[in-house]
């Protein structure tokens, strides 16, 4: 049985993951509006992944006999200064989520809840990838701003070269 302290911490994280999904969906349609369909598709996929993260936590809570309690999801922004501004927000948000996952893990440890700690280890690893993905996109965007568009395009094409 899960403790009330951990139950409420998990419910809070579920809300944060659902907000992440909402934020990235909003961002996806902002990119769609400015004609950048690739970034829009990336963010739609990211939004779906965030919902899956929420569902992992929901299922764990339900499996453990806890009470799933959904709260109102905060309204996300719907416009950004430019693509760099948007992806900087993605990175900042993921850093916030990483801290939140680490805090949640600490609660599970403090409550001596082994199943929750094991389940949360997946999230700890996932956050490393989430931050890395956003940082990589920012790094590529920085190069584009420095007029390295041609280098990136060539790199992309070379990566697609088939074996002859």
CA–CA dist 20, 51 (Å, integer): 8
CB atoms within 10 A of CB 133: 16
- 94 vs 113 by CB, closer to ligand FEO: 94
Tell me the closest approach of the beta carbon of residue 38 to ligand FEO, in angstroms.
Answer: 19
Mark 104-127 as b/e (b = at least 16 C-beta within 10 Å).
bbebbeebebeebbebbeebeebb
Q: Which of 39, 43, 38 is nearest to 23 (CA)?
A: 43
C-alpha distances in Å from residue 123, one per residue of 36, 52, 105, 156: 30, 11, 9, 30
Tell me the closest approach of the beta carbon of residue 125 to ligand FEO, in angstroms.
Answer: 12
Tell me the closest approach of the beta carbon of residue 153 to ligand FEO, in angstroms.
Answer: 28
CA–CA dist 152, 134 (Å, integer): 17
Contact string 37-76 vs ligand FEO (x = CB under 6 A): -------------x--x-----------------------
The answer to whether 124 and 116 are in contact (CB under 8 A) is no
Contact string 1-20 vs ligand FEO (x = CB under 6 A): ----------------x--x
- 25 vs 97 by CB, closer to ligand FEO: 97
| Among positions 97, 104, 116, 120, the unique one binding ligand FEO when judged by CB under 6 A | 97
Q: Which residue is nearest to ligand FEO (CB)?
A: 53
> Should residue 113 be labelled a site residue for ligand FEO when binding is judged by CB under 6 A?
no
Question: What does the binding site for ligand FEO look like in residue numbers (CB under 6 A)?
Answer: 17, 20, 50, 53, 94, 97, 130
């Amino acid at each position: 049985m899960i403790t009330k302290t951990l139950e409420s911490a998990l419910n809070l994280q579920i809300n944060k993951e659902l907000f992440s999904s909402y934020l990235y969906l909003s961002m996806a349609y902002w990119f769609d509006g400015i004609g950048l369909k690739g970034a829009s598709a990336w963010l739609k996929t990211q939004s779906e992944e965030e919902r899956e993260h929420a569902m992992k936590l929901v299922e764990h809570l339900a499996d453990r006999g806890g009470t799933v309690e959904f709260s109102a999801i905060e309204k996300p922004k719907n416009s950004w200064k430019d693509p760099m501004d948007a992806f900087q927000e993605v990175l900042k948000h993921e850093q916030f989520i990483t801290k939140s996952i680490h805090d949640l893990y600490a609660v599970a440890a403090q409550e001596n809840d082994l199943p929750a700690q094991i389940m949360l280890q997946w999230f700890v690893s996932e956050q490393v990838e989430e931050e890395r993905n956003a940082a990589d996109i920012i790094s590529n965007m920085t190069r584009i701003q420095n007029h390295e568009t041609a280098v990136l395009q060539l790199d992309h094409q070379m990566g697609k070269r088939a074996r002859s």
